[in-house]
């Protein structure tokens, strides 16, 4: 921007300096000041003539001679102003500035104002942008000479940019483009405006798009930029508004902006019967994702007997294990299918990215991840899966209700095991339980001699073993072989990953009386879990897992919450509100969502009796 200012000074400086005596407010050429000394008047004209003829060195010498030989003449102020402008035009702003400062105190207001204008230009050229703004801002819309107006506006643009006011610089360039400009200067200014617009923050672009006059050259450039930023931020109502304004002003939109406008318009329409899903159907996690998709298709009546007439329709996207694909999937489901809500993803990274995008778009997202942090994205994001801490809490509270006073933890040295151990410590403190000790063993261990020796030295009523079922099948008989639990009552506490049907058959005699967390218990004698499992197995000839059951439950809760809603954007907010209040029978322990947008009941605790899990 400073380089552009120098170029304009080069283009305008000679004309400004050659103008001689300042013009009056009518735009004429009558001198504002006169002298009764014809010799002084001729000396000033000789200086002006030399500059007009391009002899700048001679002109400068004559101005200085005038100031030396006619120091008391009334035309001294005019000579100082003209000499200062000549110095500006020859890139000597520091020398020019004191001359303008002297003239700025002159009794003639028009002469003093012109001096302040040029003093502001000099201040900017020497790097004093704050002073330049202070001098120049009051002069906007007061200058009469077209060249001085251009000089004022370009200098203001440079000063505002130098002080970090990009929006103010755009406004100054917009005002400059309203002037009569040489085509070369106009083209250069447009290029500067375009480049400066690209430097604006999203907030600056949006604010400028609101306050700029639509008739100028800057508004269409800024509005298009603001429209892109609003789309990226998920502010689709703003995209629709800007798109409408641009069309009303007959501003052409490129293919990208047309696509954004179309998608934004579509998000304003919501199909309350359309429910989306984001799952890993290829790549890592595809087996679990495919189970969840089958559960959703079963709930939606697809594909065996087709969609319900007038009922919910399922639209799904494959993340392929890629978090960024999850964000694009949210866009697709909202803009192409106008879904009222979305189920998934369950991978923590994909869920986090999708949650941010869903919050931006204002669509309820019901993730299947156990990561408690995912709901921090905002009020449209829910979590259906239980966290390790929630399972630990359910187990410890159950143990306390049944008389346990002291617990111990035998955990593997991996992230899940240590997270559960830490949760147990924190929860025990809150629940008034004693933590006898935490004993760790290497992840994947098959021998537990040393950890069990440490356990033998502790006294406890319940033992939490946060590991998968294969590890528990080794730990349980090792405990019995070490005599732990034989001399005093002992309850094992197992999270949901620590138990499966095969474990009861292979190691059940060592697990009798164990308390086990089960968010989904498909072997229940009756209820939603039993009905869901039977229907799933009948259709797909395989067993559903917890995530499949959670996906099914969320779908059913959304379906009920969306019944009778209008095809309007407000439907998504209504679903969000209703889901926070929903309470219905579910195949899992979920039943609905808490005020913190997690599962209202994260899990249930069962006791192993024989080969059957019994819920007390």
Q: Work out the average pLDDT over 377-399.
A: 94
- Interval 401-431: pLDDT, tens: 999 999 999 999 999 999 999 999 999 888 8
Sheet holding 313-318, edge to edge: 313-318, 274-279, 341-343, 365-367, 381-383
pLDDT of residue 3 exceeding 90, the answer is no
Strand spans (E) along 319-461: 341-343, 365-367, 381-383, 406-412, 434-441
pLDDT of residue 15 exceeding 50, the answer is no
Sheet holding 434-441, edge to edge: 434-441, 406-412, 462-464, 491-494, 515-517, 605-609, 612-615
- Interval 215-272: pLDDT, tens: 899 999 999 999 999 988 878 789 989 999 999 999 999 888 988 887 777 766 789 9
- Output the average pLDDT for the chain: 88
Q: Work out the average pLDDT over 132-156.
A: 92
Cβ 367 vs Cβ 344: under 8 Å: yes
CA–CA separation, 431 and 481 (whole Å)? 32
- Interval 55-77: pLDDT, tens: 999 999 999 999 999 999 999 99
pLDDT of residue 19 exceeding 50, the answer is no
Q: Which two tokens stand for residue 471?
A: 């590890």
**What pLDDT score does 303 carry?**
67
pLDDT of residue 17 exceeding 50, the answer is no
The CATH number, out of the four listed (1.20.1440.230, 1.25.40.10, 1.10.600.10, 3.90.650.10), of the domain defined by the range 2-164: 1.25.40.10
Strand spans (E) along 186-324: 274-279, 313-318
Closest CA to 521 of 586, 599, 594, 600: 586
pLDDT of residue 28 exceeding 60, the answer is no
Please report which confidence band the pLDDT of residue 162 belongs to, taking 50, 70 and 90 as the band edges. very high
Q: Which CATH architecture group holds 388-517?
A: 3-Layer(aba) Sandwich (3.40)
Percent over 90 (pLDDT), the chain? 68
**What pLDDT score does 31 carry?**
47
- Interval 194-225: pLDDT, tens: 999 999 999 999 999 999 999 899 999 999 99
Percent over 70 (pLDDT), the chain? 92
Closest CA to 294 of 279, 308, 309: 279
Cβ 561 vs Cβ 582: under 8 Å: yes
Q: Work out the average pLDDT over 279-294.
A: 92
The pTM is what? Answer: 0.66
Please report which confidence band the pLDDT of residue 23 belongs to, taking 50, 70 and 90 as the band edges. very low
pLDDT of residue 372 exceeding 60, the answer is yes
pLDDT of residue 275 exceeding 50, the answer is yes
pLDDT of residue 6 exceeding 80, the answer is no
Q: Which CATH architecture group holds 271-384+523-597?
A: 3-Layer(aba) Sandwich (3.40)
Q: Work out the average pLDDT over 499-509.
A: 86
Closest CA to 575 of 586, 567, 588, 565: 565
Q: Work out the average pLDDT over 326-343.
A: 91
Q: Work out the average pLDDT over 374-403.
A: 94
| Phi, psi angles (nearest 5°) of residue 514 | -65, 145
CA–CA separation, 73 and 22 (whole Å)? 16
CA–CA separation, 588 and 576 (whole Å)? 20
CA–CA separation, 304 and 469 (whole Å)? 35
pLDDT of residue 153 exceeding 70, the answer is yes
């Amino acid at each position: 921007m400073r380089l552009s200012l120098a170029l304009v000074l080069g283009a305008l400086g000679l004309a400004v300096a050659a103008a001689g005596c300042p013009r009056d407010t009518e735009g004429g050429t009558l001198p504002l000041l006169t002298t009764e000394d014809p010799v002084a008047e001729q000396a000033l004209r000789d200086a002006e003539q030399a500059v007009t003829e391009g002899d700048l060195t001679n002109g400068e010498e004559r101005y200085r001679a005038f100031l030396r030989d006619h120091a008391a003449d009334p035309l001294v102020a005019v000579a100082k102003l003209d000499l200062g402008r000549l110095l500006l035009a020859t890139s000597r702003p520091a020398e020019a500035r004191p001359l303008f400062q002297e003239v700025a105190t002159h009794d003639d207001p028009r002469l003093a104002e012109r001096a302040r204008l040029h003093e502001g230009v000099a201040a900017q050229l020497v790097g004093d942008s704050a002073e330049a703004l202070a001098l120049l801002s009051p002069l906007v819309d007061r200058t009469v000479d077209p060249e001085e107006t251009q000089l004022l506006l370009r200098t203001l643009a440079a000063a505002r940019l130098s002080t970090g006011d990009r929006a103010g610089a755009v406004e100054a360039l917009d005002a400059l483009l309203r002037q009569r400009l040489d085509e070369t200067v106009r083209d250069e200014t447009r290029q500067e405006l375009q480049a400066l617009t690209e430097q604006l923050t999203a907030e600056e672009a949006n604010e400028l798009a609101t306050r700029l006059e639509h008739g100028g050259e800057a508004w269409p450039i800024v509005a298009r930029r603001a429209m892109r930023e609003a789309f990226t931020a998920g502010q689709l109502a703003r995209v629709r508004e800007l798109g409408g304004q641009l069309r009303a002003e007959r501003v052409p939109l490129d293919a990208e902006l047309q696509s954004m406008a179309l998608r934004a318009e579509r998000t304003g329409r919501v199909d309350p019967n359309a429910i989306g899903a984001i799952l890993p159907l290829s790549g890592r996690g595809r087996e679990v994702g495919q189970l969840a998709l089958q559960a959703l298709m079963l709930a939606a009546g697809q594909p065996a007997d087709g969609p319900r007439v007038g009922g919910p329709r399922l639209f799904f996207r494959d993340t392929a294990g890629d978090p960024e694909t999850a964000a694009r999937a949210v866009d697709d489901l909202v803009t192409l299918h106008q879904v009222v809500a979305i189920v998934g993803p369950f991978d923590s990274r994909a869920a986090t990215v999708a949650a941010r995008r869903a919050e931006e778009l204002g669509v309820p997202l019901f993730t299947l991840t156990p990561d408690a942090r995912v709901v921090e994205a905002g009020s449209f994001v829910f979590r259906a899966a239980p966290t390790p801490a929630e399972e630990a809490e359910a187990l410890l509270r159950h143990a306390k209700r049944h008389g346990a006073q002291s617990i111990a933890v035998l955990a593997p040295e991996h992230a899940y095991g240590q997270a559960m151990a830490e949760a147990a410590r924190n929860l025990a403190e809150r629940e008034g339980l004693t933590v006898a000790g935490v004993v760790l063993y290497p992840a994947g261990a098959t021998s537990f001699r040393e950890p069990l020796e440490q356990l033998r030295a502790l006294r406890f009523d319940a033992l939490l073993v946060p590991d998968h079922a294969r590890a528990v099948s080794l730990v349980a008989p090792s405990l019995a072989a070490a005599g732990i639990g034989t001399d005093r009552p002992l309850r094992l506490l197992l999270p949901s990953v620590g138990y499966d049907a095969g474990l009861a058959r292979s190691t059940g005699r060592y697990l009798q009386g164990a308390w086990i967390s089960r968010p989904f218990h498909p072997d229940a004698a009756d209820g939603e879990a039993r009905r869901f499992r039977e229907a799933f197995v009948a259709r797909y000839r395989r067993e559903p897992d917890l995530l499949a059951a959670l996906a099914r439950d969320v779908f059913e809760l959304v379906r009920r919450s969306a019944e009778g809603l209008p095809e309007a954007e407000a439907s998504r907010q209504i679903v969000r509100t209703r889901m926070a209040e929903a309470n219905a029978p579910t195949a899992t322990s979920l039943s609905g969502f808490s005020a913190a947008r997690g599962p209202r009941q994260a899990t249930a605790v069962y006791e192993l009796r024989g080969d059957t899990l019994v819920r007390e």
